[in-house]
Structure 1
Amino acid sequence: MIAAARGGEAAEAVDRLPVARSAQVRRAWVRLVRMDGRAFAGVLALNGLAAAAGLAAPWLLGRIVDEVRAGAGLATVDRLALAILVCALAQIVLSRYAGLAGHRFGERTLARIREEFADRALALPATTVERAGTGDLITRGTTDVAAVGATLRDAGPTMAIAAVQATFVLAAVFVLSPLLGACGVAGLAGIWFATRWYLRRAVTAYLAEGRANAALAEELAATTSGARTVAALRLEHRRLSACRRAIEECRRTRVRTLFLRSVLFPVVDVSYAIPVAAVLLLGGVLMAQGAVTLGTVVAAALYLRQLSAPLNTILENLELLQSSSASFARVEGLAQAPRGGPAGAAPEPVDDRIEVRGASYAYDAGPDVLHGVDLRVRPGERLAIVGPSGAGKTTLGRLLAGMDAPRTGEVTVGGVPVAGLDPDRLRERVMLVTQEHHVFLGTVRDNLAIAAPDATDAHLRAALDAVGADWAVDLDTHLGPGGHRPDGAQAQQLALARVVLADPHTLILDEATALLDPRTARHTERALAAVLAGRTVIAIAHRLQTARDADRVAVMRDGRLTELGTHEELVAAGGAYAALWHSWHGDPTSGPPAPPPGPAVES
């Protein structure tokens, strides 16, 4: 495929997810071709035979001209005309099977690209996806993969046939007369310079168009998913302005690519007539000198006229080729995205002890949101992390789960840095559950089997019972369009049931029961505590009753760990936690009342 992401180096500064460079794209294409090398060789062979069959007609027509001038009879002309017909039919049949073989090769290769993309996307750390934005990842997995597929399925085989035909046609002209061949090639100089001018600018322009499309998808996704919040806060004008800016950027980048084509194609159309005219003029001079025959000149002119068809095919698909090259650079760029520690990079943790030593953290290039946090979580302990909104609780939870690495200090599990563990090994040790849950299309069984593929139906039902999901009686209930649409609370119960099945050593709950009503939340939390007895549970608590049930409570404020101790110790100390408890509970010496409808303490 024509050169790929020449603008990749500059693009990486804009794209959150990396874009593959031209050398990486070329290596990827070579690897894909080698994986189906026999089929690719078959495509080339059929294309070569089809192109060879197409060369016969102009040469035979030239023979007819020379034979007629020499006084040959009608039988000779009929015989040569029949040969032209046979060669034309052979070319049609061979071209048909060459296209079919090319399409099969393209579909198999596209399937491999889709599978690789899915594997790479699923291997990305959650923090990488969050920072890149779902719009970029979705655009790469849909629009970009579809563009590559269109090239492999349609443009690729068509251009392969055209390239072979053009090569054979030029070779035939040189065989007839090297001088006429050189004249014809010189006449194609305009196409060469116009195409080179286009290629120098096309990939960068199409990469910019791809980034603009990804940004627009991100804006639209954010606006539609948060439509209720936008309406409640009266942010419609701001969101519409952002979408209009993204649309304008898409329009601007699209106009740029249209301009490039508007320069290329008129120059090419004019250039087709130049080599034919040059060969006829030079051929007349050579005929007058007896250097060539009339049939040779006619055949050479027909060959060069025939050359316009494959060149047109190549140039018409050049836009798709450049667009798909840029798309493939974005798809293949996912291979360069960070994936956490490689398997075997770190030693095996000796136990489930979690330690945080001097941990500070900042999002991107912003100020620190955590400042020198020190914390030790004992195996089997139930720890509650509380504090006002913006205190750094969720950030600390992400560090404990290995989703982010501290800027300074370290977070270890069993003496091994969490950030250095392979993601699969890390999830066996530590699992983070938030209030944002995804329900996959499929049955209840499908959604649960993600956590434990080998679990029996009895185990699946036991996990559902443990979290109070009495609505999921039938494991074959289809979830999604056309079936049962679970609400937010039911989605949380499915997620918690997956936790029960995964059975991690350490569970971090970040408002994991926030969408449940208070009574159901208390029941679910107690059920989880019973099922996960002996496991370490770290709860980022939005209900202080959860903190009271914990073995210890860690209080966060302004990114610092300000208090640590049991519930009774912290209430007796009369500090920040005691103030929170009094505001939520009232009298700490009396029995706990029913929790209020909404949490008094935000997380």
Structure 2
Amino acid sequence: MTTTVSERPAAGQLPVAGTPAVRRAFLRLLMSEKRRALAAVGLHLVAAVAAAVAPLLLGEMLDELAAGKGTGVVDRLALGLIASIVAVVAFTWLGTFVSHRLGEKLSARMRVEFVDRALRLPMPVVEQAGSGDLMTRSSADVPEAGVLFRDGLPQIIVSVLKVVVFLAAMLWASPVLGLCMLVVAPGLVIGTRWYLKRARDGYLNERQAESGIGDTIGASADGARTTETYRLRAQRDGAGDDTVARHWRAARYTLYLRSVFFPFLDGSYALPTAAVLLVGGALYFDGSITLGTVAACAVLTRQIMFPIDHILMWVEKVQRGFAAMSRIEGVAEAEDTGAAATAELPADGTVDLADVRYAYPSGVRDVLHGVSLSVPAGQRLAVVGPSGAGKSTLARLVSGSDSPREGRATIGGVDVAALPLDERRRRVTLVTQEHHVFTASLRDNLILAKAEATDQELRDALTAVGADWAADLPDGLDTALGGKARELDAASAQQIALARIILADPDVVILDEATAMLDPRAARDTERALGAVLEGRTVIAIAHRLHTAHDADRIAVVEDGRVAELGSHDELIALDGHYAGLWRAWHGEPEGLKAADEDHYAAAGNPV
């Protein structure tokens, strides 16, 4: 079934590109290596011509022998036959070498483009799609499409050239016997049309089912402790069984297609040879054709059917490859789901939220309700409040990770979500509790924030965040981290993330519980160090510990998606409202609390 528009296979999953978009992408990649592609076609064409000459020479040898010609003529034909065989071997080897180089180049280019596109995806798109969908596209679809370029494209080019050349040789030897190849056409056309009509959707469903398995396994692994705590093992097992069952049904359907398609074709392959022998025999006994011509055409039918069989065998893999490319190209379409980019640049680091309302896609109500807030450039704002109040959501809107449903979130007067991704990353940095250490050296993990940073800058950044352990590494900045090399604890990973802030040097820094993984003393020291380093920058800190709020220029207390209080530490203590209750609870002073503060005191162990 041909699809002319992009499709979104399921709610939340990344788009799937339509057939025209996949064809354009395929041709674009192929044209990027046009010279190499033409060289491969030329070499294989010479090999195919040499292969077609061999049976013609063989047929002529039979005719010369039947006519009683001398050995000199036969010897010359035999030498020509040997030369053609040598040419077939030599040019096939060269053509295969160039073709595989072409395939590897195209496969590598496609991989690089996919990674670049994945890194440019808007954060909401990635989160809504889930890790399983993107992971399956990178770990399964990209290699599958790579096979199409590395093996499928060269094999199909070679096979098509052979069919054309061999058929031309048959028609040159005997137009009547050449037309005998038409007997195979009805079966091939009917079987291939039946298969292609169903194959694309079948393989797309199989790929999507694989994504579902990845999502389910990932969720079960991440939530293993929660599953055990709340005795949800039966539900998680059931979810796993359901996703495996969906994949089994999808895989069984594609197996059914292959089981019908290939046996149907196998029964057609002997028809051309039988037709040539029957028609050729009648013409030979009638004296209209020579025995050598019949023999040459019979051999050519077998030579034609081998590449046709090869092409049809690759039809299944091509369908898999194009289904994979549909999902790969869908990632490019997902890049355009955010706000339109603007050429306007922020004037400074001033952050403004104007009547902002926001609801998560899966939610039924707003998380933020008309929040208006202004943070002048260079000011440090602490955001506190109970869990679920909307603090992290507010941070995501300021960083541009999400866009408001209503209202505006701006930096320096420009909608932050409309800033080009590179410019936004240069202007705003969001650091959360979740940090990733790549399987690479410490240097490579740090220069993600500043590619041109010197070793001294890297060391200074580590010192600024209190990462003293880095000085004791056996190979210094070249020490391999992550995986089996050297696994870092959560606190060390968090310090690497904070060091990246210093190297990135953004206008606006958002710290969403960024020191939560550090012990209180280390967190206090790190925050003091960061305070000096971040001087002059706009800082919005989601305060896990209230001493962070105490040090801020202003404090915003978020309650039920609204800013309930706003002011300095002393002003809010004097106000004796929500923040004052949190502060007293933090310091272990429950006596004398007002009744309105009791709920806040209950959450004081985790006020963020």
User: Please, what TM-score do these two structures have when normalized by structure 2?
Assistant: 0.92
Give the one of 134, 138, 162 matched to 1:137: 134
Give the one of 292, 299, 308 matched to 2:296: 299
Instruction: Please say if residues 382 and 537 of structure 1, whose CA atoms lie closer than 8 Å, have aligned partners that are also in contact.
Output: yes
| Whole-angstrom CA distance in 2 between matches of 1:352 and 1:203 | 50
Instruction: Please say if residues 362 and 370 of structure 1, whose CA atoms lie closer than 8 Å, have aligned partners that are also in contact.
Output: yes
> What's the counterpart of residue 598 of structure 2?
none
1:453 Cα offset (Å)? 2.3
**SS at the partner of 1:403?**
coil
| Whole-angstrom CA distance in 2 between matches of 1:601 and 1:14 | 34
* Greater alpha carbon shift after TM alignment, 82-91 vs 408-417: 82-91
Give the one of 81, 86, 90 matched to 1:84: 81
**SS at the partner of 2:94?**
helix
Q: Aligned ranges for residues 18-97 of structure 1 at < 5 Å?
A: 18-97=15-94
Question: In the superposition, relative to structure 1, how do residues 434 and 324 fare at CA in structure 2: closer, same or farther (>3 Å)?
Answer: same
| Whole-angstrom CA distance in 2 between matches of 1:154 and 1:34 | 17
| Whole-angstrom CA distance in 2 between matches of 1:36 and 1:599 | 63
Instruction: Please say if residues 188 and 275 of structure 1, whose CA atoms lie closer than 8 Å, have aligned partners that are also in contact.
Output: no
1:305 Cα offset (Å)? 1.8
1:77 Cα offset (Å)? 3.6
| Whole-angstrom CA distance in 1 between matches of 2:347 and 2:496 | 32
Instruction: Please say if residues 381 and 540 of structure 2, whose CA atoms lie closer than 8 Å, have aligned partners that are also in contact.
Output: yes
| Whole-angstrom CA distance in 2 between matches of 1:429 and 1:90 | 62
> What's the counterpart of residue 527 of structure 2?
525
Instruction: Please say if residues 50 and 91 of structure 1, whose CA atoms lie closer than 8 Å, have aligned partners that are also in contact.
Output: yes
| Whole-angstrom CA distance in 2 between matches of 1:43 and 1:456 | 45
The sequence identity of aligned pairs, in percent, is 49
The residue type paired with residue 372 of structure 2 is D
> What's the counterpart of residue 464 of structure 2?
466
| Whole-angstrom CA distance in 2 between matches of 1:506 and 1:61 | 80
Residue deviations 1:53-107 (CA, integer Å, cap 9, x gap): 1112221222233223323344444443343232122111111111001001111
> 2:248 matched to 1:251?
yes
> What's the counterpart of residue 265 of structure 1?
262
Instruction: Please say if residues 12 and 128 of structure 2, whose CA atoms lie closer than 8 Å, have aligned partners that are also in contact.
Output: no
**SS at the partner of 2:371?**
strand
**SS at the partner of 1:188?**
helix
1:248 Cα offset (Å)? 1.5
1:401 Cα offset (Å)? 0.8
| Whole-angstrom CA distance in 1 between matches of 2:577 and 2:380 | 21
> 2:310 matched to 1:308?
no
| Whole-angstrom CA distance in 2 between matches of 1:396 and 1:195 | 55
| Whole-angstrom CA distance in 2 between matches of 1:10 and 1:116 | 21
| Whole-angstrom CA distance in 1 between matches of 2:422 and 2:302 | 61
| Whole-angstrom CA distance in 1 between matches of 2:292 and 2:321 | 43
> What's the counterpart of residue 454 of structure 2?
456
> What's the counterpart of residue 275 of structure 2?
278
CA RMSD of aligned residues (A): 2.3
| Whole-angstrom CA distance in 2 between matches of 1:530 and 1:431 | 17
User: Please, what TM-score do these two structures have when normalized by structure 1?
Assistant: 0.93
**SS at the partner of 1:475?**
helix
| Whole-angstrom CA distance in 1 between matches of 2:220 and 2:4 | 30
| Whole-angstrom CA distance in 2 between matches of 1:428 and 1:92 | 57
**SS at the partner of 1:409?**
strand
Question: In the superposition, relative to structure 1, how do residues 392 and 234 fare at CA in structure 2: closer, same or farther (>3 Å)?
Answer: same
> 2:560 matched to 1:563?
no
> What's the counterpart of residue 585 of structure 1?
587
> 2:404 matched to 1:428?
no
The residue type paired with residue 558 of structure 1 is D
> What's the counterpart of residue 593 of structure 1?
none
| Whole-angstrom CA distance in 2 between matches of 1:445 and 1:59 | 66
| Whole-angstrom CA distance in 2 between matches of 1:175 and 1:231 | 76
Instruction: Please say if residues 187 and 278 of structure 1, whose CA atoms lie closer than 8 Å, have aligned partners that are also in contact.
Output: no
1:194 Cα offset (Å)? 0.6
Q: How many residues of Structure 1 are paired with residues of Structure 2 in the alignment? A: 593
> What's the counterpart of residue 217 of structure 2?
220
The residue type paired with residue 208 of structure 2 is R
Instruction: Please say if residues 120 and 335 of structure 2, whose CA atoms lie closer than 8 Å, have aligned partners that are also in contact.
Output: no
> What's the counterpart of residue 150 of structure 2?
153
Mark the runs of 5 or more structure 2 residues left unpaired by the alignment. 593-600
> What's the counterpart of residue 105 of structure 1?
102
> What's the counterpart of residue 500 of structure 1?
502
1:355 Cα offset (Å)? 0.9
